[in-house]
Structure formats: structure tokens, C-alpha cells
Amino acid sequence: MSRCVVVTGAAGFIGSALVQRLLASGDRVIGIDNLNDYYDPALKRARLAQIEATSFKASWTFHQITLEDGAALEELFRAEKPEVVVNLAAQAGVRYSLENPGAYIQANLVGFGHILEVCRHHGVQHLVYASSSSVYGGNRNLPFYEQQPVNHPVSLYAATKKANELMAHTYSHLYGLPATGLRFFTVYGPWGRPDMAPMLFARAILAGEPIKVFNYGKMQRDFTYIDDIVEGVFRCCDKPATANSDFDPRNPDPATAAVPHRLFNIGNSQPIELMRFIELLEQSLGVEAVKDFQSMQPGDVVATAADTSALEAWVGFRPSTPIEDGVEWFAKWYRSFYRV
């Protein structure tokens, strides 16, 4: 029998792609999204239309709900009784957290608290939730691996994601809720977020406008193609977190616990220089970028790089999309979708 999976942030970049992967596997999927205007809701509705156009739409339902509405979540979970929950809904963006911190407190802390509560009270068998590579903060010890301390966030967004990990661990400890936290590393590809560098760069390059290149281009990111990310999340859904039988409280492993809670990096493990990414995007679009080199921005980090060996051992996850192919596919989608 198919299982019932709730995906929050279902109209988002990763969420909408994951929904299609789950539906194709035979799951019944319930999508939740508040369709807010942090970026153009028309793109979110276009992603939902992609789901509606699939042959699996009979197994799909969508609810426009904000996670801050605990009563609405309670009503939905009581009626549907999902076995698996994938929480991707959040107020995203590092720089925006400097402008509107309240949005992060409400969505990422209050909203996630409501998710934990409905999972606790309605017998959810596995919660998979989005953390972020930003929790590593100003750490310069690359690549990042899950046993490293993450006690020095450099943005409120990162702090809320660290808080989510602590909150989920507590619910695993108190109520036995199996929970898996995934630290995402710079996801890119078709249907991406307009506030992220690939979309910002593509729009400006094709419009003949300068692109802002922070830290004078001396940045490195572990760009990870959307299909690889989705496959990793999908596999995690199938393998609930378990307690680490070898957990030593005198020498605790930050990535596991004596309770069913685990943390994993999910990235490409092949970081590239920002200037190389720009070069590939220029080639794919057939236009040279006008570059406006600027200093480092508050809340940003110089480099990210994921050690994903733990996730590979856990679910056999290994990214397979070369950056050259991923950027080309993104550029083709961008020109087609925006008709430029």
C-alpha cells in the first residue's frame, strides 16, 4: 500500500521537485505551502501547475497553510494521518534575515515547533527536515563534516537552522520521534529560487546589467544539482533515523544520538570557485557578464564544501551531475521559462 507523505514548502524549489519524485514512486502526497510573496508567487504557482500536469495528480492534494497556523496543521494531520513528513518550508535567505528577522523567528522557529507537535501527536513514523550548510558559520576547516561543532552561526537564518536541529533532537529524546536533519549545500537548477545567485546572474546577464560578485569573486560553493538533492531526500524518506547503539555520552557524536535523530550533509562534494560558475553560465547563455566586484556581505561565508560520506553510507547517496551539465540545463530552462 502507498504511504501518505506530507511535504511542506511544496511550491518551493526543492519541495515541488520532491513531490513529483514521491508521486512517481507511488506515494500519496499532501503538499503544504503558504505561497507568500518573499519572491514572485507566480513561480510557485507554475511549479504547482507542473505537479498538476503529471499523470499522478490523483494521488496529490494541496493546502495553502502557513506553519505558524498550528490549528490548521492539527486539523490536517488529524484527518490525513501521514506516515512521513518532509519539512522544507522555511523563511529562506541569509541576507534577508538582516532585513526582516521576525519572519525567521515565526516561520523557522514557531512554525517548526508546530510541525514537531503534530508529528508527535499523530503518530508520524519519520520526520525529514531541512537544515542548512549555513550552520557551519565561519568555519574554515573544509570540507565540512557532521562531527564538527556548529556553535558560531554568522546569520540569524543559520541560527534558526541550528535551533531546528536541537528542537528535533529534543522531540526524538522525549517522544521517540524518528527525525533526520539534512544540511543542504547551495542547490541550483531549473525552477530555482529567484533570490539565489544562479537566477540573479541569469536575469542580469541576459538584461545586460551588472552582476554583483561578492568578496571580489573569491568565493567557493558546493553547488548541488536539484535532481541529486531530490534523490538524496527521497532515499532518506525510506530510511527513518535510528539511535546510534555505540553513542558515547562521554564523547558525544554531534551527528547521531542515543535516540532516533541523525544529521547529514547533502551536497555535491565538489566545490567550485564562484568565477568558474559564472564562466559556465556565460557559456551556456552565450552572453558575457558585466561584473560588479564588491566586498564580502554580512552573514555570508567565504567557502562551503560538503563531506557527504555519512549520507552515502546511510542511503547510498552520491551526486552524479557534473557542474557543466547542470548549468547548461539550468540555462536552457531559464531561457524557455522566461522566454528570453
Catalytic residue among 157, 188, 225, 334: 157
DSSP assigned state of 231? H
The CA radius of gyration of the chain, in Å to the nearest whole number, is: 19
Distance CA 107, CA 156 (A): 12
pLDDT at 94: 81
* Residues 303-331 pLDDT 10s: 999 999 999 999 998 999 999 999 999 99
pLDDT band, residue 184 (cuts 50/70/90): very high
* Residues 53-64 pLDDT 10s: 988 989 999 999
Would the pLDDT of 139 be above 90?
no
Distance CA 182, CA 322 (A): 22
Asked if 157 and 283 count as a contact pair (C-beta separation under 8 A), the reply is no
Asked if 49 and 11 count as a contact pair (C-beta separation under 8 A), the reply is no
pLDDT at 1: 61
Respond yes or no: is residue 216 known to be catalytic. Answer: no
pLDDT band, residue 120 (cuts 50/70/90): very high
pLDDT at 251: 95
CATH 3.40.50.720 describes domain 4-185+224-268+305-320: yes
Per cent of the chain over pLDDT 70 is 100
Would the pLDDT of 176 be above 90?
yes
Would the pLDDT of 333 be above 70?
yes
Say which residues have a Cβ less than 8 Å from residue 48's Cβ, sequence separation at least 6: 10, 11, 16, 31, 33, 62
Query: Average pLDDT of 39-57?
Result: 95
* Residues 14-37 pLDDT 10s: 999 999 999 999 999 999 999 999
